Amino acid sequence: MKDAFYITTPIYYVNDYPHIGHAYTTVAADVLARYHRLCGAPVFFLTGTDEHGQKIEKAAEKNGERPIELADRVVTRFESLWKALDISIDDFIRTTQDRHKKGALALFQKCLDKGDIYEGEYEGWYNVSDEEFLTETQVQELGSDIEKNPNFVRLKEKTYFFRLRRYQKQLLEHIESHPEFIAPLSRKNEVLSFLKQDLRDLSISRSSFSWGIALPNDPSHVMYVWFDALSNYLSALGYPESTDHYNNFWPAQLHLVGKDILRFHAVFWPIFLMSAELPLPKQVFAHGWWTIEGEKMSKSKGNFVDPFEFIDTYGSDGFRYFLLREFSFGQDGNFSKESFIQRLNSELANDLGNLVSRSLSMLEKYREGKVPQADNSIPSILKSSVETHLQDYQKLLPTLHFDQAFGEFWKILSKANQMIDQKQPWALAKNPDQSQELDRVLLDLLEVIRLSSVAIAPIMPNLSRQIREKLGLPELAAKIGQNQIEEKLSWDAETIKKGEKGQALFTRIETS
C-alpha cells in the first residue's frame, strides 16, 4: 500500500477576495493531490479560511458588518473559485467552525499542561496586516516610518507567552537530521539563520480585541491568530479525537506555503507540535511570489490578477497550466498577459492541440478513423525516446519540479510533431507500398496522444478527459491501491478504441 498523502494549503484570510497568489498554491496542491491519487495513494487534500484576528475584525468594522458576516460572504468566493479551478479538495476548514475551535483549544491546553505558556506583559510593535509582532531588527530598520504606517500599532498589554526558546535546539537538530523538512534549500537556509539567533518567546494571546478563540485558562484573552490558524491542520483531521482520519493522515506529508509565511510553518508550528508531543509534518515547501507585469502586486496599485477573469475567458485548464509552467516552483516570477497568451497559443493550441487535430484528421482521412493493426516488423519511431522522457516526468512531478516535468513531456510532443514533418504521411498515403509505414506513423501519433491524456491529467483534467473521449477511452480513475499513472504511462499500455477528431482541443487565442 502506498503511503498516505496529506497535503495542505495555507488557510486564507477572509478580509480580501482571492487572487493569483491563492490560486497558485492551491493549484499546485491540487496537481500533487491528483497525481498521488493516480499513484494509488490515499490522499487527503485540505484548504480553508482563516477567519479570526484583528485584521478581519477591522475589515468587518470598516464595512459595517460583523466579522462572521464578512467571513460568510468572502468564504463563498473562495469556494466558488476552487470549483471554477477544478480543485479536488477533500475538506474545507473554517477557523470559526466548532470542530476547529475544539482542536485549537485542545492543542493550546496541551502546551499549557506542558508548562510552555506563561503570563507576562508585551510591549512593542505589532503589524496588523501580517498579524505579526515586529522584531527589534525590523523596528530599527523601519525607524520613524513605523509611526506613520497605520498597519503598525504599539501594544502594551498583558499577554501569554510561549516558551519558544525551550525548543530551539531540538528544532535545529530536527532540521539538520531531516534534510527534506524545509524546501527549497535557499528557504531552509533562511530558517536556519533565523534559528541560530536568540529566539524570543512569542506572545500568544491578545486582550485588546475579542474576535478569536477565548483561551481555556483566561477567557479575557483570545488566542493569537497564528496559533489558532496553524492548528487547522490538526483540527481538520478530528484532533484531539483519535479518528481514522487522524490516524491515517497525521503527520502531513506536505504543507505548501508562500515564502512570506514560511517562518510560521517551519519554526512556530513545529515548536507547538513538539510541545504537544505530536509528530512533525514531513515537509514544508515555500514557493515564490508573482509580480504582475513586472510590478509588485498591491492594493494601492490595484493590479491584482483576478483568477475568475482568466478562467471565464480562457478556461481553467489553461490558467492552471500557465501558473505551474511559467517558472520554477520555489522561485519568484512574473505574470504578464502577453506571456500567458503566448504560452497557451504555442504550447496548448500549437504543440498539443494541433498535434491532436492533425493526427486525428489524418487517421480519419486515410483510415476512416479506425486504429490500424500494428505490424511488429516495423519498429516504433518514437518509443525509446518517449520512454526516457516519461521516466523523467515521473521523477520531476512528485518532487515539485512542475515546470520541468511538463517541459519534459512537451519534448515528446515536439518529437511527434517533427516526425509528421519528416515522414510526411500525406506522401506515404499516395503510395500503397508504404501503407504499413503510414500505419506505423499513425499508431505512434495515437500513442503519444494517449500518453498526453495521462500525463496532463493532474494539471489539465478537462483536456485530459476530452482527449480520452476522442480515443474512446474511459476517464482516468483514481483508486486507492491502483497505480494508474505508472500503469498507463508506459508505451502501448491501453488499447485505443478509435480516433475521432471532433472539436478542437484548445483554440488559439487571437490578440487583437
Is 347 among the residues that bind ligand ME8 (CB under 6 A)? no
Question: Which CB, 74 or 397, lies closer to ligand ME8?
Answer: 74
Q: Which residue in 285, 290, 322, 329 binds ligand ME8 (CB under 6 A)? A: 290
Q: Which residue in 4, 46, 236, 257 binds ligand ME8 (CB under 6 A)? A: 257
Letters for 198-237 (x = contact with ligand ME8 by CB under 6 A, - = none) are -------------------------------xx-------
Q: With CB under 6 A as the contact rule, which of the stretches 256-264, 273-281, 359-367, 442-450 interacts with ligand ME8?
A: 256-264
- Asked if residue 127 lies in contact with residue 150, where contact means CB atoms within 8 angstroms, the answer is no
Question: Which CB, 25 or 54, lies closer to ligand ME8?
Answer: 25
* CA distances in angstroms from 263 to 182, 237, 270, 290, listed in the order given: 10, 23, 10, 19
Cα-flanking dihedrals φ and ψ of residue 12, to 5°? -90, 145
Question: Which CB, 339 or 482, lies closer to ligand ME8?
Answer: 339
Question: Which CB, 337 or 395, lies closer to ligand ME8?
Answer: 337
Give, in degrees to the nearest 5, the angle at Cα 80 between 257 and 76.
Answer: 90
Question: Which CB, 10 or 425, lies closer to ligand ME8?
Answer: 10
- Asked if residue 139 lies in contact with residue 125, where contact means CB atoms within 8 angstroms, the answer is yes
Q: What letter would DSSP give residue 397? A: T
- Asked if residue 437 lies in contact with residue 377, where contact means CB atoms within 8 angstroms, the answer is no
- Asked if residue 449 lies in contact with residue 471, where contact means CB atoms within 8 angstroms, the answer is yes
Instruction: For the CB of residue 95, give the shortest distance to ligand ME8 in the complex, in Å.
Output: 9
Question: Which CB, 62 or 365, lies closer to ligand ME8?
Answer: 62
Instruction: For the CB of residue 317, give the shortest distance to ligand ME8 in the complex, in Å.
Output: 20
Question: Which amino acid belongs to residue 144?
Answer: S
Question: Which CB, 222 or 467, lies closer to ligand ME8?
Answer: 222
Question: Which CB, 25 or 404, lies closer to ligand ME8?
Answer: 25
Instruction: For the CB of residue 321, give the shortest distance to ligand ME8 in the complex, in Å.
Output: 17
Is 113 among the residues that bind ligand ME8 (CB under 6 A)? no
- Asked if residue 254 lies in contact with residue 245, where contact means CB atoms within 8 angstroms, the answer is no
Q: With CB under 6 A as the contact rule, which of the stretches 4-12, 166-174, 368-376, 398-406 interacts with ligand ME8?
A: 4-12
Give, in degrees to the nearest 5, the angle at Cα 33 between 462 and 47.
Answer: 100
- Asked if residue 24 lies in contact with residue 332, where contact means CB atoms within 8 angstroms, the answer is no
Question: Which CB, 152 or 366, lies closer to ligand ME8?
Answer: 152
Instruction: For the CB of residue 372, give the shortest distance to ligand ME8 in the complex, in Å.
Output: 48
Question: Which CB, 284 or 413, lies closer to ligand ME8?
Answer: 284
Is 254 among the residues that bind ligand ME8 (CB under 6 A)? no
Q: d(Cα 155, Cα 209) in Å, to the nearest integer? A: 12
Q: For CA atoms 100, 105, 106, 108, give the dihedral sign.
A: positive
Letters for 413-452 (x = contact with ligand ME8 by CB under 6 A, - = none) are ----------------------------------------
End-to-end CA distance of the chain: 53
Site for ligand ME8 in 41-100 (CB under 6 A): 50
Q: Which residue in 6, 7, 21, 41 binds ligand ME8 (CB under 6 A)? A: 21
3-state secondary structure of 190: helix
* Cell, residue 237: 483531521
3-state secondary structure of 145: helix
3-state secondary structure of 122: strand
Q: Which residue in 24, 122, 161, 319 binds ligand ME8 (CB under 6 A)? A: 24
Asked if the bond preceding 425 is cis, omega within 30° of 0, the reply is no
Q: With CB under 6 A as the contact rule, which of the stretches 116-124, 183-191, 255-263, 354-362 interacts with ligand ME8?
A: 255-263
User: Residue of minimal CB distance from ligand ME8?
Assistant: 258
Question: Which CB, 50 or 351, lies closer to ligand ME8?
Answer: 50
Q: Which residue in 4, 6, 7, 13 binds ligand ME8 (CB under 6 A)? A: 13
Question: Which amino acid belongs to residue 262?
Answer: L
- Give CB contacts under 8 A, 24+ apart, made by 73-82: 74/14, 74/15, 74/16, 74/17, 74/49, 75/14, 75/49, 75/51, 77/17, 77/18, 78/12, 78/14, 78/18, 78/22, 78/47, 78/49, 81/18, 81/22, 81/23, 81/307, 81/308, 82/26, 82/47
Cβ-proximal residues to 82 (8 Å cutoff; 6+ apart), any chain: 26, 47, 89, 92
Question: Which CB, 297 or 382, lies closer to ligand ME8?
Answer: 297
Which residue spans within 373-444 are E strands per DSSP?
Answer: none
Letters for 258-287 (x = contact with ligand ME8 by CB under 6 A, - = none) are x-xx--------------------------
Q: Which residue in 25, 235, 357, 404 binds ligand ME8 (CB under 6 A)? A: 25
- Write down the H helix ranges in 162-315: 168-177, 185-195, 225-230, 232-235, 244-249, 262-263, 269-275, 307-314
Q: With CB under 6 A as the contact rule, which of the stretches 18-26, 111-119, 154-162, 498-506 interacts with ligand ME8?
A: 18-26
Is 297 among the residues that bind ligand ME8 (CB under 6 A)? yes
- Asked if residue 407 lies in contact with residue 327, where contact means CB atoms within 8 angstroms, the answer is no
3-state secondary structure of 182: strand
Q: With CB under 6 A as the contact rule, which of the stretches 7-15, 33-41, 75-83, 411-419 interacts with ligand ME8?
A: 7-15
Instruction: For the CB of residue 399, give the shortest distance to ligand ME8 in the complex, in Å.
Output: 20
Contact residues toward ligand ME8 (CB under 6 A) are 10-13, 21-22, 24-25, 50, 229-230, 257-258, 260-261, 289-290, 297
